[in-house]
């Protein structure tokens, strides 16, 4: 699946992750004049190259936090910093993969992946990076296909390639596997881990699936119900590839579900 060029490039590159500091961030939405608090004094400090999973009840504000990290929205209070630099606007060093692939239907797979380089005006000299990114996700043979011709898993892979082509320092994943069938999901979890290990970017993954968080991340942050605050910060010191049946992970999972108030169902 993986072309030799992509491997070689990955091997020569130094670990490319950035540190992320979320300091006392609070945020609220205005809904018909009333303020709806969604984040309450959230502080998280992420080391370069860490894989952090954000876990919490649905609608608790995890995705809002990701939008703040991406720079798509500004927080009402607090600060976000990438490698000491204040985050004020979107930047291709922090790329988001959303729950829906949101590929541009009028662009072919190749053109979709090329989007970031084109937007930054460097596509002409960097065309090979698009090919490399497509190789990386194993879709080189679909370069001329249009999004409506792809399956859900393939579309999400293209979305991943579209993010990775920018060589992000922080990869922001907003439940990217949430809508995939369980088999595709397991395959793509493994692919995510190997991409992260090869490229060394810092990863922020929002998920509502405790098992997914434990299989992928080396740190799981559990949020409370809205307004979200950090309830627990759990280190997952297990080597990759991890096994779903690992008793250590099963134990952690029980703890996490307990934190989310779901221990009775276990």
Partner 1 sequence: MSTYSLSDGLASGAPRSAPAFAGWVRDSGIGVLASVAWIAFGLSCLWWEDVGDWSRTHSLGIAAFVIAAVALFGTVGADYLGPAGKALRQRAPWLVALGAFLTVWEVATAKFAWLPLPFFPPPQSIIEVYTDDLPKLLDSVFASVKLQLGGYLIGATVGFLTGVSIGWSRAVGYWVHPVLRFIGPLPATAWLPIAFFTFPSSWSASTFLIALATGFPVTVLTWSGVASVSNAYYDVARTLGAKPSFLVLKVAIPAALPHVFVGLFMGLGSSFAVLVVAEMIGVKAGLGWYLQWAQGWAAYANMYAALIVMSLLCSGAITLLFAIRDRLLVWQKGTVKW
Q: Which residues of this protein are in contact with partner 1, per CB under 8 A?
A: 70-72, 90-92, 94-96, 98, 100, 102, 104-108, 115-116, 118-120, 146-148, 162, 166
Closest approach of partner 1 to the CB of residue 121, in Å: 9
**Choice between 108 and 202, CB closer to partner 1:** 108
Closest approach of partner 1 to the CB of residue 223, in Å: 22
Closest approach of partner 1 to the CB of residue 173, in Å: 12
**Choice between 106 and 266, CB closer to partner 1:** 106
Q: What are phi and psi of 175, to 5 degrees?
A: 45, 55
Closest approach of partner 1 to the CB of residue 31, in Å: 17
- Contacts of 83 by beta carbon, 8 Å cutoff, 6+ apart: 18, 19, 48, 169
183-218 exposure pattern, b = at least 16 Cβ within 10 A, e = fewer: ebbeebbebbbebbebbbbbbbbbbbbbbbbbbbbb
**Choice between 104 and 248, CB closer to partner 1:** 104
- Tokens 């988001």 sit on residue: 96
- Tokens 């169902």 sit on residue: 265
Query: Where are the alpha helices (H) located in the chain, listed in sequence order?
Result: 4-12, 62-70, 109-113, 115-119, 127-136, 152-164, 182-199, 210-216, 247-259
Residues 37 and 26 sit within 8 Å (Cβ to Cβ): yes
Token pair recorded at residue 172:
């922001």
Q: Is 103 helix (H, G, I), strand (E, B) or coil?
A: coil
How does DSSP classify residue 265?
G
**Choice between 145 and 230, CB closer to partner 1:** 145
Residues 214 and 242 sit within 8 Å (Cβ to Cβ): yes
**Choice between 40 and 108, CB closer to partner 1:** 108
Closest approach of partner 1 to the CB of residue 243, in Å: 34
Closest approach of partner 1 to the CB of residue 165, in Å: 9
**Choice between 157 and 162, CB closer to partner 1:** 162
């Amino acid at each position: 699946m993986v072309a030799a060029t992509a491997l070689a490039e990955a091997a020569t590159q130094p670990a490319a992750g950035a540190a992320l500091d979320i300091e006392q961030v609070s945020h609220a939405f205005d809904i018909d004049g009333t303020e709806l608090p969604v984040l309450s004094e959230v502080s998280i400090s992420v080391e370069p190259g860490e894989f952090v999973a954000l876990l919490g009840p649905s609608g608790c504000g995890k995705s809002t936090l990701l939008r703040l990290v991406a720079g798509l929205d500004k927080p009402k209070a607090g600060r976000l910093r990438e490698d000491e630099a204040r985050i004020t606007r979107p930047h291709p060093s922090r790329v988001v993969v959303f729950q829906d692939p949101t590929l541009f239907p009028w662009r072919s797979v190749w053109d979709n992946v090329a989007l970031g380089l084109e937007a930054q005006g460097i596509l002409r000299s960097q065309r090979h990076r698009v090919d490399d990114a497509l190789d990386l996700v194993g879709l080189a043979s679909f370069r001329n296909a249009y999004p409506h011709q792809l399956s859900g898993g393939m579309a999400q892979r293209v979305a991943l390639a579209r993010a990775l082509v920018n060589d992000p320092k922080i990869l922001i994943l907003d439940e990217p596997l949430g809508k995939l069938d369980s088999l595709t999901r397991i395959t793509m979890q493994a692919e995510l881990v190997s991409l992260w290990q090869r490229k060394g970017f810092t990863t922020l993954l929002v998920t509502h699936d405790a098992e997914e968080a434990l299989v992928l991340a080396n740190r799981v942050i559990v949020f409370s119900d809205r307004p979200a605050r950090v309830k627990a910060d759990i280190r997952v010191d297990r080597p990759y590839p991890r096994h779903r049946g690992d008793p250590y992970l099963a134990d952690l999972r029980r703890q996490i579900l307990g934190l989310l108030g779901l221990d009775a169902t276990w």
